[in-house]
Amino acid sequence: MSTDLINIENENMSCLAAIKRYQATKKPIKTILCGVVSLLLLKITPTFAHGPIFSPGPETLYKDGIEFQLDYYRSKSARASENEQAIGLGYGITQDWEISVELPYLTANEDGSKNSGTGNVQLETRYRLWRMDSFGKQDSITGFVTAVLDTAKQTINPMLSYGANDFIVGLAYGQESLIWQRWASLSYRFNGENDDGLNRGDQLFADASIGWRSEMPQYYKSDTLWMIELNVEHSQTSQQNNISLKDSGGTEVFISPGVIWAYRNIALKGGIQLPIYNNLKGDQNNADHRIKFSIDINY
């Protein structure tokens, strides 16, 4: 074989080797580029920030951002049920500080008696205490305080309000990545005493959630997040005129599958809470199920 042919063959083999190396590195490079782009989207696009359905999350609005929310919530236990439609409005004072208000409309049924009307207005402020960004991942912790005001007067709608102001304080942690999301929260509800001396027992809530998407989010495509939550609720014994009420207090645990579908600044959420453990004191109805649907729009 001539020297020229040998050189040509060597050059062809070098080209083939270069092509193979390029093809072998093409996929990792593409994956890295997609990860970088998605990381940037996670940082600059607030619409990718999702929270749990039945428990508080750490997400806050961006500065001067406005959130409009419509909620439907239904709970059922034995012969009692409650349907709630709520309108919520949030505003981002800074990228870490958000305030919001929620006005519910309730329809309550208990032992054949039905009552409807506006419920208690809720005012909330939340502040992100800590945030850490890393490649394709963001961790954050947010503290929040919620005031549940007695705006549905007991004399008008006796099934819609207990006639007292309540306050909720808590912390929420979240980790959002390209595929997985994780949340955990702990909150405490201080229930007030009404004019009849009824002091409902305070409540402790502990929640853990995980979400999964089948592909990395892209701003111009819809984003579907499948999730499941574990919700624990513990209530102390209620008192009336400093006398403990035996049919009050106890612990309930729920497993809550759900899904979030989002496209740019619009998110649709839905889920169901199913009881897996009940230890209520005295004669109380265990929860059958709870359902929630939400529409969130950010501006």
Q: What is the pLDDT of residue 41?
A: 46
Domain that holds residue 97: 45-298
Identify whether 26 is part of a domain: no
Identify whether 36 is part of a domain: no
Rg of the chain in Å (alpha carbons):
26
Q: Roughly how many angstroms between the first and final C-alpha of the chain, as a whole number?
A: 73
| Beta bridge partners of residue 279, listed in sequence order | 251
Report, as an integer, the average pLDDT of 234-258: 97
- The 3-class secondary structure across 93-114, one letter per residue, is CCCCEEEEEEEEEEEEEECCEE
Residue 10 φ then ψ, to 5°: -65, -40
Q: What is the pLDDT of residue 112?
A: 74
Identify whether 294 is part of a domain: yes
Residue 88 φ then ψ, to 5°: -125, 150
Q: One-letter amino acid identity for 278?
A: N
- The 3-class secondary structure across 189-210, one letter per residue, is EECCECCCCEECCCEEEEEEEE
How many of the other CB atoms lie within 10 Å of CB of 208?
A: 17
Please write the tens of the pLDDT for every residue from 20-41: 554 555 555 555 544 444 444 4
Task: State the Cα–Cα distance between residues 271 and 197, nearest whole angstrom.
Answer: 36
Q: Residue 255's Cα: distance from chain center in Å?
A: 14
How many of the other CB atoms lie within 10 Å of CB of 129?
A: 12
Identify whether 172 is part of a domain: yes
Q: Which residues make Cβ contacts (< 8 Å) with residue 12, sequence separation at least 6?
A: none
The mean pLDDT value of the chain amounts to 86
Q: Looking at 211-225, 255-269, 270-284, which range is the least confident one?
A: 211-225
Measured CA distances, 18 to 4, 25, 26, 30, 95 (Å): 21, 11, 12, 18, 48
Confidence of residue 56 (pLDDT cuts 50, 70, 90): very high
Report, as an integer, the average pLDDT of 183-188: 98
Identify whether 273 is part of a domain: yes
Identify whether 150 is part of a domain: yes
Report, as an integer, the average pLDDT of 148-170: 81
- Exposed / middle / buried, residue 28 (Cβ in 10 Å: 0-12, 13-18, 19+): exposed
Q: 90: left (phi > 0), else alpha (psi -120 to 50), else beta?
A: beta
Domain count along the chain: 1
Please write the tens of the pLDDT for every residue from 217-232: 887 889 999 999 999 9
Identify whether 15 is part of a domain: no
* Lookup result for tokens 């709630």: 84
Task: State the Cα–Cα distance between residues 185 and 174, nearest whole angstrom.
Answer: 9
Task: State the Cα–Cα distance between residues 170 and 8, nearest whole angstrom.
Answer: 73
Q: Could you tell me if 67 and 90 are in contact, meaning their C-beta atoms sit under 8 angstroms apart?
A: yes
Confidence of residue 210 (pLDDT cuts 50, 70, 90): very high
CATH of the domain at 80: 2.40.160.40
Please write the tens of the pLDDT for every residue from 276-294: 999 999 999 999 999 999 9
Identify whether 3 is part of a domain: no
